[in-house]
Amino acid sequence: MPTILVLATTADGAVDDISLQALTFGRRLATGGPVHALVVAGEPGAEGTPAEATAAGFGAYGAAQVHLARHPAFETFAPDAVAAVLADLAGRVAADAVVGPGTEAGNTVLARAAARDGQPFAANCIAATLGSPAQVTRQRWGGTLQEEAALHGDRAYVSVAPHAVAAEALDGSSAAVDAFTPDIADADLVVRVVDRVAAAASGISLAEAKVVVSGGRGVGSTDGFKPIEELASLLGAAVGCSRAVTISGWRSHVDQVGQTGTKIAPNLYIAAGISGATQHMAGAKGAKKILAINKDAEAPIMSAADYAVIGDLHQIVPAISAEIRRARGA
């Protein structure tokens, strides 16, 4: 039976759900074989650093052995140092596969560990089986295309696409926590976070908004977004946009929804003057309901949307705002 090592990341010292998903994925890959997890942490008690109990929390998801690597260097993100510990541990436990979360941090650490270990790495997988070669199914184009591939190596490095599997606790499962202090070479600390600049708080975050109102090329200009902003503010919504808008300079990239922008998951997504390109929709897959406003009844977005209004957004959007005001008796 295969041995699996899972890189478990934490967010502000707490267990993060994407890692629990990776752990669930890794446990299924193990098919009953031993599952190890690596958690890195700073000095006990340091701000934002995971405690022993946090590390133990991964046990409930099937890790039999949690390796807690404590080092002051881990108080900020140092991807090469994490990768060094991960690759070293993979060798020590003779892991057949190293699994981690398909986040920016997870992917960069796995890529670095695979490179050190001289092994191939498959990012953002949704399925895998071990063997020689290992087989993976991975996401391309933000998930609008899947790749089936063979992974020819001595050890499979795999990251798990977010939400490819649901995190599932295992009844009665708990982990032994082995805390240790790794040796970290200076060369592995060249790349590390040396400062944090706070961002000015700005309205509702696109990623977390319950309602998003977006405009696309059809909006036509920076000023064309005023009615979109007005509708958004009536609904307590965040404003989003397509890439056609950001590359035209009408709005900042922080508002872009899609494969190379923000992934949103609102209860309602209103998309005005957006054609529904696959890369745009890759960011809106999490939306529960979609309302498209488009002058083209045949636009691709019509087969992704739940509701549509056909016509000129410049007339329709203000009319909706007016109707909301009327309904609210204002």
Partner 1 sequence: MKVLVCIKSVPAVAGRITLTPDARAIDTKHLGFAIGPHEECAVEEAVRLIEAHGGEAVVLTLGPSTALEQLRDALALGVARAIHLVTDGQEWDPESTTAAIVEAIRADEAASGPFDLVLVGNEAGDSADYQVGVRIGRALGRPVVTAIKGLSVADGRARCEQEASGGRDVFELPLPAVVGVLEGINLPRFPSVPGRLRAKSKPVEASEPARPAQRLELQRLVVPQGAAKQAVVLGHGPDAAPAVVEVLSNLGVL
Ligand X SMILES: Cc1cc2nc3c(=O)[nH]c(=O)nc-3n(C[C@H](O)[C@H](O)[C@H](O)COP(=O)(O)OP(=O)(O)OC[C@H]3O[C@@H](n4cnc5c(N)ncnc54)[C@H](O)[C@@H]3O)c2cc1C
Q: Residue 111 is inside which H or E element, if any?
A: helix 104-117
Least CB distance to ligand X at residue 218 (A) = 3
Applying CB under 8 A, which part among 15-23, 24-32, 89-97, 115-123 lies near partner 1? 115-123
Least CB distance to ligand X at residue 259 (A) = 4
Q: What is the rounded end-to-end Cα distance, in angstroms, of the chain?
A: 67
The length of the chain is 330
Q: Is 40 in the site for partner 1 (CB under 8 A)?
A: no
Q: What would the x/- binding string for ligand X be over residues 177 to 216, using CB under 6 A? A: ---------------------------------------x
Cis peptide before 72 (omega within 30 of 0): no
Q: Which of residues 305-324 bind ligand X (CB under 6 A)?
A: 312-314
274 contact, one of partner 1, ligand X, none, CB 5-8 Å limit per kind = ligand X
Sole residue written with tokens 């309302």 = 291
53 contact, one of ligand X, partner 1, none, CB 5-8 Å limit per kind = none
Applying CB under 6 A, which part among 40-48, 162-170, 267-275, 321-329 lies near ligand X? 267-275
Helix (H, G, I), strand (E, B) or coil at 61: helix
273 contact, one of ligand X, partner 1, none, CB 5-8 Å limit per kind = ligand X
Helix (H, G, I), strand (E, B) or coil at 27: helix
> Which residues have a Cβ under 8 Å from the Cβ of 202 and sit 6 or more positions away?
none
Q: Which of residues 239-268 bind partner 1 (CB under 8 A)?
A: 243, 246-247, 249, 252-254, 256, 259-261, 267-268
- 213 beta partners: 239, 270
Residue 173 has which token pair?
């499962």
**Burial class of 283 by CB neighbour count within 10 A (0 to 12, 13 to 18, 19+):** buried
251 contact, one of partner 1, ligand X, none, CB 5-8 Å limit per kind = none
Helix (H, G, I), strand (E, B) or coil at 97: strand
- Binding residues for ligand X (CB under 6 A): 216-218, 242-244, 256-261, 273-275, 277, 279-280, 283, 293-296, 299, 312-314
